[in-house]
Amino acid sequence: MNELVCLDLPLGDAFINRLKSAWDAGDAIFPLDQRLPAAARAEVLQAIQPTVIVDASGDTRTGGNKVADGDAVVIATSGTTGAAKGVVLTHHAIQASAKATSARLGITKDDCWFACLPPSHIGGLSVVLRSIIMGTRFITAPSFTVDAFNNAAKDGATIVSLVSTAMQQVDTSLYRTIVLGGAKAPLHRPDNSVITYGLTESGSGVVYNGLPLDEVEIEIRDGVVFLRAPMLLRSYRDGATPLVNGWLRTGDRGYISDNGLLHVEGREGDLIVTGGENVWPEQVETRLSALTEVRDVCVAGVPDSKWGHAVHAFVVLEPGASLSIDVVREWVKETLPAYSAPHAVHVVAEIPRTALGKPQRNILVSSITN
């Protein structure tokens, strides 16, 4: 049994060096989210149980639990329950991911990754891991900024992983390829962007522009996406495994189109059942985002005595704009069934999102129901 080294460090040289030294010793690493407040930090550490915590002042031993031989990384995820748990990825899994993603993206010795997403999330950490494994040059920044993005391009970066909100702030032509993960991709995106689909449990993206990576199998069972691949997790940190005969039930609903592309409709828990009809929030969000008055939008189901759940839209408006419920409903009904039209519109200052840009619907719903 080996150590689980918690890296309580921002992304940078110290983080990379300590990661490499942990691997050299046969240990696994757990990157701690640097933005967590004290209470959330304590909750995550209690769930993950690292044996060593490394910060700027040095190493601290804890009473945590060790990892099995071959384990490389533990990533915290809240999954669908909201409770923190650890996803255990082996060296075999992350090597399979690194090789498959690099092959699909056509990575050569002339490429250079820019790593700027939080390494506490698999989308950010995977950029670092695949660069180390494949020997690809990479540049890091402790967080995304437009200046860091531009400076990395000047220093030779050719490929970057971003979330949609970040991509919309930059000149994407500075890079050969923009890899998009996290939240749903924008309606209009540059030709050099690639949309990825994956989970923490799948060790980063395993479907690129609708097509699975090499050795990745997809099945749709009762409308739910199942995956089988060499880059899947070994288990959760508590020893439980979600794999059945090697298959992972993702909890995402989707379908495979006639041209063989995977289309993901959304998380099962996000589906709004209103008056017996199914409404996917992302479809309504896509429609509402086309309104010139709307800067940002999130759609969620709110408990309703008549409908079971009612469709509500939370919108951030452009400066000086206004928007009525009648305009919103008619706009949605032009392209979607009438039952998809929101029953209410709430103007908010911002849409709360995760570090990877996914809207936190539960926070918005709680703001009007509690």
DSSP 318: P
The confidence band for 183, taking pLDDT boundaries of 50, 70 and 90, is low
Domain check: are 39 and 102 in the same one? yes
Q: How many structural domains compose the chain?
A: 2
**Mean pLDDT taken over the chain:** 93
Domain check: are 233 and 307 in the same one? no
Q: Which of 335, 339, 360 is nearest to 350 (CA)?
A: 360
Domain check: are 84 and 188 in the same one? yes
**Which of 213, 244, 264 is a domain's end point?**
264
When comparing pLDDT for 299 and 185, which is higher?
299
Domain check: are 28 and 57 in the same one? yes
Span 81-95, pLDDT tens digits: 456 789 999 999 999
Segment 258-282 shows an average pLDDT of 89
What letter represents residue 152's amino acid? A
Domain check: are 229 and 293 in the same one? no
Q: In sequence order, what are the beta bridge partners of 89?
A: 73
Span 122-169, pLDDT tens digits: 999 999 999 999 999 999 999 999 999 999 999 999 999 998 888 989
79: pLDDT strictly greater than 60: no
187: pLDDT strictly greater than 80: no
Domain check: are 286 and 247 in the same one? no
Q: In sequence order, what are the beta bridge partners of 162?
A: 180
Domain check: are 15 and 156 in the same one? yes
Domain check: are 120 and 94 in the same one? yes
**Which of 231, 264, 297 is a domain's end point?**
264
268: pLDDT strictly greater than 90: no
Domain check: are 300 and 256 in the same one? no
Pairing label, strands 4-7, 52-55: parallel
Q: What is the CATH number of the domain that holds 68?
A: 3.40.50.12780
Segment 207-216 shows an average pLDDT of 97
When comparing pLDDT for 165 and 111, which is higher?
111
The confidence band for 370, taking pLDDT boundaries of 50, 70 and 90, is confident
State the residue range of the domain holding 287: 271-369
To the question of pTM greater than 0.85 for the whole model, the response is no
Domain check: are 28 and 56 in the same one? yes
Q: What is the CATH number of the domain that holds 329?
A: 3.30.300.30
DSSP per residue, 215-236: T-EEEEETTEEEEE-TTS-SEE
Segment 4-13 shows an average pLDDT of 97
pLDDT computed for residue 311 by the predictor: 96
The confidence band for 78, taking pLDDT boundaries of 50, 70 and 90, is low
Domain check: are 17 and 45 in the same one? yes
23: pLDDT strictly greater than 90: yes
**Which of 219, 239, 264 is a domain's end point?**
264
80: pLDDT strictly greater than 50: no
344: pLDDT strictly greater than 80: yes
| Alpha carbon of residue 337 to chain centroid | 29
Domain check: are 49 and 120 in the same one? yes
